[in-house]
A and B are shown apart, each in its own frame.
Chain A
């Protein structure tokens, strides 16, 4: 089974609107971390936001926020007030405690976001 599922291969949003990128995950580990990365066409993976499984509040970082619903095992990224520069591929990733020394980040397949002027 896929550990990280991103069901939206592509999304479009109008400039200045908010957009939600979906991410569901699968783990039996009570301790895990969820990450979102942005990959523009240049290729560099840019860290956006982190949510720990024990965090009581949803993470926020500027225009990025994470809608964390633990019971549903979802960690959707919300981008407010979209800008043209937000057009990129977005990846959700997870690290489980049982990764141990493997330190493995498991990535989803990504969502290509296009912001329209």
Chain B
């Protein structure tokens, strides 16, 4: 069965510091991968998605970036964190070629607090 891991689970970082969040998927090949952010008490906002190694699409302009160095690894980064980057970051995966019924499955998330 498929499993998705995210780490760290919780992170407290000062403003201006760098960020690296990691997501890995097990049990599937060539997944589509996604990074979402959830502000407190809100729905999810798609930040990035990737359909293959080295292929990254950005949905929202921000000071974050994403990379996919391996088939089942997705990394969210920042060179300098802002206060507004605080939130709950969720990684998700799916398989398919973009049908409306393509279900996304989420990881446990990372809570980021920027002080």
Measuring CB to CB, which residues of chain A are less than 8 angstroms from any residue of chain B? 4, 31-33, 35, 37, 42-47, 50, 52-53, 91, 93, 95-97, 99-105, 107-110
Measuring CB to CB, which residues of chain B are less than 8 angstroms from any residue of chain A? 32, 34, 41-44, 46, 49, 51, 57, 59, 88, 90, 92, 94, 98-109, 111
- Residues of chain A with a CB closer than 8 A to B111's CB: 43
The reply to whether A103 and B43 contact each other, CB–CB distance below 8 Å, is no
The reply to whether B43 and A107 contact each other, CB–CB distance below 8 Å, is yes
The reply to whether B102 and A44 contact each other, CB–CB distance below 8 Å, is no
The reply to whether B46 and A44 contact each other, CB–CB distance below 8 Å, is no
Main secondary structure on A side of the interface with B? mixed
B6 to chain A, nearest CB (A): 9
- Residues of chain B with a CB closer than 8 A to A33's CB: 99-102
A47 to chain B, nearest CB (A): 6
The reply to whether A45 and B90 contact each other, CB–CB distance below 8 Å, is yes
The reply to whether B105 and A47 contact each other, CB–CB distance below 8 Å, is yes
The reply to whether B100 and A97 contact each other, CB–CB distance below 8 Å, is yes
Picked from B43, B90, B100, B106, the residue with its CB within 8 Å of the CB of A95 is: B100
The reply to whether B43 and A44 contact each other, CB–CB distance below 8 Å, is no
> Which chain B residue shows the least CB distance to A54?
B100
Count of inter-chain pairs, beta carbons less than 8 A: 70
- Residues of chain A with a CB closer than 8 A to B106's CB: 37, 44-47
- Residues of chain B with a CB closer than 8 A to A97's CB: 100
> Which chain A residue shows the least CB distance to B6?
A44
The reply to whether A95 and B109 contact each other, CB–CB distance below 8 Å, is no
Question: Given known contacts A43-B108, A45-B90, A95-B102, is B44 in contact with A102 (CB within 8 Å)?
Answer: no
- Residues of chain A with a CB closer than 8 A to B42's CB: 109-110
The reply to whether B43 and A35 contact each other, CB–CB distance below 8 Å, is no
The reply to whether B100 and A31 contact each other, CB–CB distance below 8 Å, is yes
- Residues of chain A with a CB closer than 8 A to B32's CB: 103
Picked from B41, B57, B92, the residue with its CB within 8 Å of the CB of A101 is: B57
